């Protein structure tokens, strides 16, 4: 009800005024009386104005009143602005909205930027392939680089390469990440006090360094170039020229793991250190003594391809693999028979074998060699068996197999074994006539042999004595890799000029005066020769992303002695000039040379006949005369002790530690432990029980070289008393991804090792308090736990048999497990046309894990980091499940790659509330990421648990959002969506490759051919265990394998009808039933 | 208590037709300024003037002119 | 007094407000549908290239410039070098050609304003459509009559599926040379476009 407010106010105001007037009047009278008595008052009269002085009555009234005239008046509405605050805000926001819509053109679709001058061979959107060579390790495998719009995005093997035959290992697959690593060195840097860094231009760096090199040479000081294996003939020539320009220059080369003990043994046995190439594909029996030839030793690609030639259940005969080892290695777990003894007892075992073979069985003529026999007298196999508690049955099988397969078997000794063991093994192979398996038509080629220990001792002494003027780290990291008791970093302090050529920061760049960034393998030219029958070429597919130069180019500029000698084609011209006189000398005209050169670049490989392989130091030297006296003379026989034995092994993923900043490789689970992001001390179950250790407990391991605290991991299958540690971890100077990951066991390596640099007996291990959590992608449960024991057999996830059982009855698998015909509640959809399917042959799968990396690269899988892997949130679409059976001390291991099975009756498809996952008419379970709302019901329903959910935007979360850097966005495969937070993802059977084949088929007006599609995992599998294709193509290999009598599907009793078929693993043992672990 | 202000009028007890109208001159002035402002903003590119000094140089990709490409299709043409 | 107010608000003002809001929304939605999906968008291009002249009057085949449309997913915008095949000589004194030559000699790519765009989560493949004989004009309209290219068909999933489900009714022109290719129904499973 509107009241007459104004009137009320006026009434109130009037009342106030009246009251104050009263007060005034009262005051005035008081004042007057006060003034009256003022004459009697001695206080001075204070007055502020004339009115006060004269006692103005009006003024007196005012004085008493608090509020002056008009102070209590209400504001007049009509005098106010018509524009209220509310209206102002409304107008402001409205105009802002209008302005905003007016600013942007919501219909704008961006711009299209075509080439200005398009190269003829480029088809926008289609990839271009180049052949090149991988320089991730010393084996120089051939690779094919897939580029799109100039950016390399995928690496696969080069089928023309005679050794790697179209396959490449995990390091090669993940190498694109090294190219695009935002933490790569981008500019040359000078570090005058080895602490601060200033960027300097190349010309300035070259000038300064050339000056110092010249000074060092003229004053007689040594210039040491320290490198990893040099297997490039042109680089060798360039280094020779460098040595001519700087006469005091010396080249040293090293590797973290090398064949030094094997070579020295070979030299003693045969008179030269040239190791032969063993044709394992012709071997019927292989005995691996602490030799992880399928995992980490030698060229694992070559070894795996050769080994698996005789593992085809449908043609040929299986070979038989025996493994005798202390560590649980990949090879050992794939072996048909595995004998577990401590590593330092292996030589005793070999000697016991020798006395059996030569002495008892009288094989070979060595039986008459008296000094030899007398040396072997104290050994005996029966004694050995009872001393170490191993199975006599197995040993008997081994001896009889070796006896029956003389000349078609081979004994491989691991690189970590000492020289004396290698000599014994050489004798064993000679006695059995296995040298027949040595390749006669090709041999290894070494450009520059690795430096011997004497060379290193001399260098370190010179460094400490101030006789070294310059040290050049030639893309190597000796400060991290060399044995700790060289005290290399200390010795460097006495060297005035330390230059590091490196792609990334490492422990050696941290102690250098100059750090020069070098180009990655995708940006470099090169030529390589590791075998006598061919050369391989490396070509850059992309101009250097940053201000980097090739390390060979840098050497050429320094040789020329002038910074202006550099131009961007300098090394390419150098290689061409070298080839004109050596490899392609026969192409004696420019046109012929150019054609041959381009053909070489196209193929990646140039085959030569052995005779014409020039530019090498050591050529063919097949073992001619074996010297049995070498065996007699070898004194340093390894005997088993009672303390711990420490075995240092390579890790397959990080090289010697140089790839520590590659998150994909760090997150690739180790084959047996399935651990990620760390290394650990693998110990046996018995040791753990005796010392009351749990996995992740910290222990202190002490060797003659030093001590190290690191966590343990209980590894079933390790021999009692053996500790196995992987090297290459514990980088301190590294990018954000690899820094501080793992423990640096290089501190346990001594240069004066009694046995070998990687094998130490007399090692102590003691429990110290604390834990460092080892994160693994599988549960750590006790394999004897009743609920879970042999679950893979009870649920028929793993179905195995023996080879003899299969030969006797090819249908044994179906009979054993039966073809349960449960009634299905779903109506079967009949797929006419293409039906995609996959077969994984578990006989060929060694569990190496290269498929996982290839899938990561192809499908833009993010790295999630250790803490997320702990919560089972690793994002890899394919995983290798590893199952143990038998006893924890001596388990049987089964590997099974598990990926989305693309079930015909997929339980995930029914439950998606938004129909984000559906089944296509050609049998693919597809995923529409833009529809997914993240309910995760599909993952809940998946019986195989192959669906991966993006709990975070892992690219943003891991490692300070390093994956969001611009250079990583160049790495992404543009045909595959990059998923963000909140969507579910899983294997798509490389749908992008299927659609590419479909596009080609429509272009050629033909049907889609299943065999043309190769999934990323299939391409990467070293042993070709994965086959993908069209199940409905009656004449395809896939159809044959899917319907073979060894094929089974996992969890087939739930009738989801998976489209991935596994071929049961057959162990080639004499027992016809594969029940327990073989001991 | 309903406050009166310049642009609206309360007609609770009065006839709808005899309300205090907004000053027409003022309305057209405001509308004109709004239109002018919109036109100005849509024409004038204010965004381009902002200096972006912290922006990093994008990485330049250029293929190597001397590289020889390879035909990788090992397919079966049926 | 209060009852009257509430009654009035509920019975009169609220329905009016709801109706107005809904009506405005629905009308805007349908009226702007075409525009929101790109139909009619014909921006000004950096060089005033006229398809009507080149593809219409001079009858140059689409694939002369957009050469990779039957080889890859993308219908490539021709590079400046393709234009210069003719325009090093043809009308080289005209202002637009001078602009073009300037771009070419300086090596600057021409920033064409993109008109037709399917969202990034849909992987559209031009080559399969062209190789099946579906002519450009079926989706892009009669380009040969356009001086300035604008979008005539809305590229919504519904439009794609309509044609996939019923190609005979929706395909009007066939690529010359592909008359004998049999066109079946296009794939309608999610993975064919959303992978």
ipTM of this complex? 0.90
- Give the whole-angstrom CA distance, residue A472 versus residue A384: 51
Longest dimension (CA), chain C: 87
Say if the Cβ atoms of C189 and A995 lie within 8 Å: no
Selecting from C70, C121, C191 the residue whose C-beta is nearest the C-beta of A991 gives C191
CB contact under 8 A, C128 and A977: no
Chain C residue with Cα closest to A997 = C128
Q: Considering only the top CATH level, what class is A641-776?
A: mainly beta
Quickly name the fold that domain A260-437 has: Dimethylsulfoxide Reductase; domain 2 (3.40.228)
Chain C residue with the nearest C-alpha to that of A916: C190
Ramachandran region of residue A55, left (φ > 0), alpha (ψ -120 to 50) or beta? left
- Give the DSSP H/E element, type plus range, for residue A498: strand A497-502
Q: Do B5 and A87 touch (CB under 8 A)?
A: yes
Mean pLDDT over the full length of chain C: 90
A128 → closest Cβ in B23, B66, B69: B69
Query: Cα distance from C157 to chain A (closest Cα, Å)?
Result: 13
Q: Are the beta carbons of A116 and C107 separated by less than 8 Å?
A: yes
pLDDT-based confidence at residue B73 (cuts at 50, 70, 90):
low
Model pLDDT for residues C2-13, shown as the tens digit of each residue: 567 677 777 788
**Residue B33 at interface with chain A, using a CB cutoff of 8 Å:** no
**Identical fold at A641-776 and A791-825+835-1067?**
no
Window 909-948 of A: residues touching C by CB (8 A cutoff) are 918-922, 924, 926-931
Task: Determine the distance in angstroms separating the CA of C128 from the nearest CA of chain A, rounded to an integer.
Answer: 6
Question: Angle, to 10 degrees, between the axis of helix A392-404 and the axis of helix A381-388?
Answer: 140
Q: Which of B7, B58, B78 sits opposite A1009 (nearest CB)?
A: B78
Count CB atoms within 10 A of the CB of residue C103: 18
Q: Exposed e or buried b for every residue in A220-234, given b needs 16+ CB within 10 A?
A: ebbbbbbbbbbbbbb
- Report the distance separating Cα C47 and Cα C110, nearest Å: 8
Check contact B-C (3+ Cβ pairs < 8 Å): no
Is the backbone of residue A1006 left (phi > 0), alpha (psi -120 to 50) or beta?
A: beta
Please answer yes or no on whether C131 and A111 come within 8 Å at the CB atom: no
Asked if B41 reaches chain A (Cβ–Cβ under 8 Å), the answer is yes
Give me the pLDDT at residue A26, please: 66
Are C76 and A124 in contact (CB < 8 Å)?
yes
Q: Do chains A and B touch (3 or more CB pairs under 8 A)?
A: yes
Please check whether residue B45 touches A, CB under 8 A: no
Is the minimum CB–CB distance between B50 and chain A shorter than 8 Å?
no
Task: Give contacts of C195 with chain A, Cβ < 8 Å.
Answer: 926-927, 975-977, 988, 991-992, 995
Nearest to B4 among A77, A146, A542 (CB): A77
pLDDT of residue B53: 57
State residue A832's pLDDT score.
87
The alpha-carbon gap from A997 to the nearest alpha carbon of chain C, in Å, equals 11
Interval C80-137: pLDDT, tens = 999 999 999 999 899 999 999 999 999 999 999 999 999 889 999 999 999 999 999 9
Say whether residue A111 is in contact with chain C using an 8 A CB cutoff.
yes
Smallest Cβ–Cβ distance between A116 and the set C80, C121, C128 belongs to: C80
At residue B47 the predicted structure's pLDDT band, cuts being 50, 70 and 90, is: low
For A943, which DSSP code? T
Min distance C124 CA to chain A CA atoms (Å): 11
Quick check: A1009 and B75 CB within 8 A? yes
CATH dotted code for A189-248+476-608: 3.40.50.740
Give the pLDDT of residue B16: 46
A1012 min Cα distance to partner chain B (Å)? 5
Q: What is the pLDDT of residue C160?
A: 92
CA–CA dist A415, A260 (Å, integer) = 8
Of A414, A280, A278, give the one whose Cα is nearest residue A347: A414
Nearest to A918 among C81, C116, C190 (CB): C190
pTM of the predicted protein model: 0.86
Q: For residue B20, what are its two tokens?
A: 């205090």
Bridge pairing between strands A222-227 and A320-325:
unpaired
Nearest to A928 by CA among A1013, A988, A993, A1000: A988
Low-confidence ranges of chain A (pLDDT < 70): 1-6, 20, 24, 26-41, 101-104, 610-624, 780-782, 818-822, 1072-1079
3-state secondary structure of A837: strand
* Interchain CB contacts (distance < 8 Å): A and C: 133
State the alpha helices, DSSP H only, in A312-380.
330-334, 346-354, 370-376
A921 vs C194: CB contact, 8 Å cut-off? no
Q: Nearest-CA residue of chain A relative to B33?
A: A95
| A967/B59 CB distance under 8 A | yes
Pairing verdict, β A128-133 and A142-148? antiparallel
Q: Name the residue facing C189 among A921, A988, A998 (closest C-beta).
A: A921
Contacts of A118 in chain C (CB under 8 A): 79, 81-82
Question: Are C114 and A1003 an interchain contact pair (Cβ–Cβ within 8 Å)?
Answer: no
Write out pLDDT tens, residues A506-517. Answer: 999 999 999 999
Among candidates A109, A930, A991 on the partner chain, residue whose Cβ is nearest the Cβ of C121:
A930
Q: In terms of CA atoms, which chain B residue is nearest residue A157?
A: B72
Identify all chain B residues contacting A539, using CB atoms and an 8 Å cutoff.
64, 66-68
CA distance A439 to A287: 19
CB count in 10 Å sphere of residue C116: 18
Chains A and C touch (3+ CB pairs under 8 A): yes
Q: How many CA atoms lie within 13 A of A531 on its CB side?
A: 26
Yes or no, beta carbons of A109 and C78 under 8 Å apart:
no
What CATH number belongs to A791-825+835-1067? Answer: 3.30.70.20
Q: What is the nearest CA distance from C105 to chain A, expressed in angstroms?
A: 9
Q: What 3-state DSSP class applies to A214?
A: helix
B58: contact with A, CB 8 A cutoff: yes
- What is the model's pLDDT at position A180? 95
Could you say which DSSP state residue A927 is in?
Answer: E
Tallying the residues shown for chain C, one arrives at 195
Domain spans, chain A: 5-78, 189-248+476-608, 260-437, 641-776, 791-825+835-1067
């Amino acid at each position: 009800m509107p009241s007459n407010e104004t009137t009320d106010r006026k009434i109130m105001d009037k009342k106030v005024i009246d009251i104050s007037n009263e007060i005034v009047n009262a005051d005035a009278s008081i004042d007057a009386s006060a003034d009256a008595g003022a004459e009697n008052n001695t206080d001075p009269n204070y007055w502020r104005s004339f009115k006060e002085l004269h006692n103005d009555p009006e003024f007196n009234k005012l004085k008493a009143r608090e509020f002056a005239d008009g102070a209590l008046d209400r504001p007049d509405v009509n005098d106010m602005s018509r524009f209220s605050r509310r209206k102002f805000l409304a107008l402001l926001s409205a105009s802002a909205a209008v302005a905003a819509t007016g600013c942007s053109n919501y219909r704008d679709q961006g711009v299209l930027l075509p080439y200005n001058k398009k190269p003829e061979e480029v088809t926008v959107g289609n990839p271009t392939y180049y052949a090149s060579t991988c320089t991730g390790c010393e084996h120089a495998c051939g690779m094919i680089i897939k580029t799109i719009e100039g950016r390399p995005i995928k690496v696969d093997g080069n089928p023309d390469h005679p050794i790697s035959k179209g396959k490449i290992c995990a390091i090669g697959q993940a190498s694109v990440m090294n190219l695009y690593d935002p933490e790569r060195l981008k500019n040359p840097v000078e570090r005058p006090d080895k602490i601060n860094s200033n960027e300097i231009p190349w010309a300035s760096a070259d000038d300064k360094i050339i000056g110092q090199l010249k000074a060092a040479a003229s004053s007689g000081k040594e210039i040491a170039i320290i490198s990893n294996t040099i297997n490039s003939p042109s680089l060798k020539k360039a280094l020779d020229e460098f040595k001519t320009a700087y006469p005091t220059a010396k080249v040293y080369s090293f590797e973290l793991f090398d064949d030094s003990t094997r070579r020295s043994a070979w030299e003693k046995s045969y008179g030269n250190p040239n190791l032969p190439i063993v044709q394992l594909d012709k071997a019927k029996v292989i005995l691996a003594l602490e030799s992880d030839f399928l995992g980490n030793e030698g060229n694992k690609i070559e070894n795996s391809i050769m080994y698996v030639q005789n593992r085809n259940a449908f043609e040929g005969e299986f070979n038989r693999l025996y493994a005798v080892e202390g560590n649980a290695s990949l090879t050992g777990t794939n072996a048909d028979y595995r004998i577990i003894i401590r590593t330092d007892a292996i030589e005793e075992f070999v000697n016991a074998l020798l006395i059996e073979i030569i002495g008892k069985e009288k094989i070979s003529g060595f039986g008459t060699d008296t000094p030899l026999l007398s040396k072997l007298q104290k050994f005996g196999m029966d004694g050995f068996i009872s001393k170490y508690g191993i199975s006599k049955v197995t040993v008997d099988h081994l001896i009889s197999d070796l006896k029956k397969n003389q000349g078609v078997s081979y004994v491989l000794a691991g690189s970590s074994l000492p020289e004396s063991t290698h000599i014994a093994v050489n004798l064993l192979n000679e006695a059995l006539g296995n040298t027949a398996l040595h390749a006669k038509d090709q041999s290894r080629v070494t450009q520059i042999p690795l430096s011997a220990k004497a060379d290193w001792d001399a260098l370190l002494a010179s460094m400490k004595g101030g006789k070294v003027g310059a040290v050049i780290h030639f893309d190597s990291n000796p400060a991290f890799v060399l044995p700790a008791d060289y005290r290399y970093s200390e010795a460097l302090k006495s060297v005035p000029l330390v230059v590091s050529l490196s792609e990334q920061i490492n422990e050696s760049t941290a102690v250098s005066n100059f750090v020069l960034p070098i180009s990655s393998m995708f940006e470099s030219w090169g030529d390589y020769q590791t075998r006598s029958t061919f050369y391989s070429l490396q070509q850059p597919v992309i101009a250097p992303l940053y201000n980097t130069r090739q390390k060979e180019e840098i050497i050429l500029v320094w040789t020329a002695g002038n910074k202006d000698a550099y131009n961007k084609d300098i090394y390419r011209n150098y290689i061409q000039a070298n080839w004109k006189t050596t490899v392609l000398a026969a192409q004696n005209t420019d046109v012929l040379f150019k054609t041959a050169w381009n053909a070489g670049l196209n193929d990646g490989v140039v085959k030569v006949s052995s005779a014409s392989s020039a530019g090498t130091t050591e050529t063919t030297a097949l073992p001619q005369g074996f010297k049995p006296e070498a065996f007699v003379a070898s004194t340093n026989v390894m005997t088993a002790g009672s303390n711990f034995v420490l075995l240092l092994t390579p890790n397959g993923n990080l090289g010697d530690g140089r790839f520590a900043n590659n998150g994909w490789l760090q997150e690739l689970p180790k084959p047996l432990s399935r651990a990620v992001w760390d290394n650990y001390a693998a110990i046996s179950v018995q040791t753990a029980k005796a010392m009351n250790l749990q996995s992740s407990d910290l222990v202190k391991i002490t060797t003659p070289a030093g001590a190290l605290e690191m966590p343990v991991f209980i590894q079933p299958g390790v021999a009692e008393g053996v500790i196995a540690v992987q090297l290459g971890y514990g980088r301190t100077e590294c990018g954000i991804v690899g820094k501080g990951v793992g423990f640096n066991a290089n501190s346990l390596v001594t240069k004066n090792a009694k046995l070998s640099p990687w094998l130490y007996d007399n090692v102590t291990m003691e429990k110290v308090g604390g834990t460092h959590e080892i994160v693994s992608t599988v549960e750590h449960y006790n394999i004897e736990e009743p609920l879970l024991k042999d679950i893979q057999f009870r649920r028929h996830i793993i179905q195995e048999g023996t080879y003899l059982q299969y030969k006797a009855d090819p249908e044994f698998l179906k009979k054993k497990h039966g073809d349960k015909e449960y009634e299905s509640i779903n109506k079967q959809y009949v797929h006419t046309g293409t039906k995609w399917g996959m077969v994984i042959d578990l006989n060929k799968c060694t569990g190496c894990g290269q498929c996982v990396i290839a899938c990561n690269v192809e499908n833009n899988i993010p790295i999630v980091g250790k803490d997320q892997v702990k919560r089972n949130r690793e994002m890899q679409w394919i995983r290798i499940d590893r199952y143990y059976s038998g006893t924890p001390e001596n388990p049987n291991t089964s590997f099974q790659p598990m990926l989305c099975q693309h079930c015909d009756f997929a339980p995930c498809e029914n439950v998606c509330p938004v129909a984000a996952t559906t089944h296509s008419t050609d049998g693919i379970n597809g995923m529409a990421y833009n529809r997914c709302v993240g309910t995760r019901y599909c993952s809940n329903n998946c019986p195989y648990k192959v669906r991966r959910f993006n709990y975070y935007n892992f690219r943003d979360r891991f490692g300070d959002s390093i994956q969001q850097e611009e250079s990583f966005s160049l790495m992404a495969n543009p045909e595959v969506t990059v998923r963000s937070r909140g969507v579910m993802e899983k294997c798509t059977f490389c749908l992008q490759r299927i659609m590419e084949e479909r596009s080609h088929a429509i272009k050629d007006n033909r049907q889609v051919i299943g065999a043309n599609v190769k999934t990323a995992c299939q391409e990467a599998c070293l042993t070709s265990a994965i086959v993908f294709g069209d199940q409905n193509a009656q004449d395809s290999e896939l159809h044959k394998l899917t319907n073979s009598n060894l094929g089974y599907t996992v969890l087939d009793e739930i009738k989801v009808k998976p489209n991935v078929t596994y071929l049961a693993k057959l162990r080639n043992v004499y027992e016809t039933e594969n029940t327990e672990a073989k001991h | 208590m309903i406050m009166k202000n310049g642009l609206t009028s309360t007609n609770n007890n009065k006839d709808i037709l005899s309300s205090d109208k907004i000053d027409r001159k003022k309305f057209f002035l405001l509308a004109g300024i709004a239109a002018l402002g919109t036109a100005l903003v849509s024409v004038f590119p204010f965004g381009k003037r902002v200096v972006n000094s912290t922006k990093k140089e994008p990485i330049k990709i250029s293929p190597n002119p001397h590289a020889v490409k390879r035909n990788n299709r090992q397919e079966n043409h049926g | 007094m209060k009852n009257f107010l509430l009654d009035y608000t509920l019975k009169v003002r609220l329905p009016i407000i709801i109706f107005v809001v809904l009506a405005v929304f629905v009308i805007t939605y349908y009226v702007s549908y075409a525009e929101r999906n790109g139909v009619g968008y014909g921006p000004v291009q950096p060089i005033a290239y006229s398809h009507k002249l080149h593809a219409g009057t001079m009858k140059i085949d689409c694939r002369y410039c957009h050469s990779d449309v039957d080889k890859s997913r993308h219908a490539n915008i021709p590079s400046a070098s393709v234009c210069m095949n003719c325009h090093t000589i043809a009308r080289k004194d005209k202002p637009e050609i001078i602009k073009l030559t300037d771009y070419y000699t300086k090596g600057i790519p021409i920033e064409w304003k993109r008109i037709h765009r399917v969202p990034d989560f849909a992987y559209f493949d031009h080559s399969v459509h062209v190789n099946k004989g579906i002519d450009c004009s079926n989706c892009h309209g009669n380009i040969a009559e356009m001086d300035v290219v604008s979008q005539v068909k809305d590229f919504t999933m519904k439009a794609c599926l309509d044609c996939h489900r019923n190609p005979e009714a929706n395909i009007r022109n066939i690529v010359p040379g592909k008359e004998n290719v049999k066109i079946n129904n296009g794939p309608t499973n999610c993975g064919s476009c959303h992978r």
